[in-house]
Amino acid sequence: MTSGRRAEYAEATRAAILAAARELFTTKGYFGTRVEDIARTARVSPATVYAVGGGKNGLIRELIGTAVHSEANAAIVARIDTFTDPRELIGFMVATTAAKFEQWSGLMRQVVAAAPGEPAVRESLELAEASLRNGLDHTARRLAELGALRPGLDAGQAADVLWFFLNNAAYFTLTDELTWPLPRAVPWLTGTIESALLS
């Protein structure tokens, strides 16, 4: 097997393991999933799962780290600086966080549940939260640069408001506890944040 073919096989194996881990963590929970289950679903040996991901903790970290450090996330942060209309920027961030929540909520629900009893999972949760907080901080600074914030509100306070309304816990409250569908939550969040932040 050539080195190029070996690299392709290794990447395909890694992708299969990560996909299996995400599916099983989402459906069975972190503690309900065994490495053997992941191996069976990915059609590899348990030893391969450990070699690629370092076990369940490593796979959670890899799944979240891949999303956090993705080109898509970097593009979102870069786009924030292009907005000149504060309402368009807020609308963009609400739509973006809602889409990310829809994409990742199944896994993140299990991560949040496991984090209190598993320090390594808690570290992965903190990585995800730090990434979101970075984007919201960037948004708040851009709103301040545009002179859009209401009197007496600085970028740090604006970032706190954005975090309050757009972190995963807020979306879980709206969608799980209040049973709001996202198409209802998004315009409500947009209008509420505009009222809270803009002059």
Q: Could you state, in chain order, the average pLDDT of each consecutive group of 10 residues for the chain (199 residues)?
A: 74 92 94 95 94 89 90 93 97 97 93 92 94 96 98 97 97 96 97 97
Q: How many CA atoms lie within 13 A of 73 on its CB side?
A: 16
Task: Give me the pLDDT at residue 1, please.
Answer: 56
SS3 44: coil
Q: Residues 86, 146: contact at Cβ < 8 Å?
A: yes
For residues 80 and 93, give the distance between their C-alpha atoms in angstroms, rounded to a whole number: 9
**Residues contacting 196, CB < 8 A, separation 6+:** 161, 165
Task: Give me the pLDDT at residue 9, please.
Answer: 80
SS3 198: strand
Q: Cα 80 to the chain's mean position, in Å?
A: 17
Question: What residues does 149 pair with on adjacent strands?
Answer: 198
Task: Give me the pLDDT at residue 5, please.
Answer: 75
For residues 109 and 188, give the distance between their C-alpha atoms in angstroms, rounded to a whole number: 23
Q: Residues 61, 127: contact at Cβ < 8 Å?
A: yes
Q: What are phi and psi of 198, to 5 degrees?
A: -90, 145
For residues 194 and 38, give the distance between their C-alpha atoms in angstroms, rounded to a whole number: 44
SS3 96: helix
Angle at alpha carbon of residue 145, lines to 144 and 151, rounded to 5°: 35
Q: Residues 83, 89: contact at Cβ < 8 Å?
A: yes
Q: Residues 68, 175: contact at Cβ < 8 Å?
A: no
Which two three-digit tokens encode residue 181? 């569908």
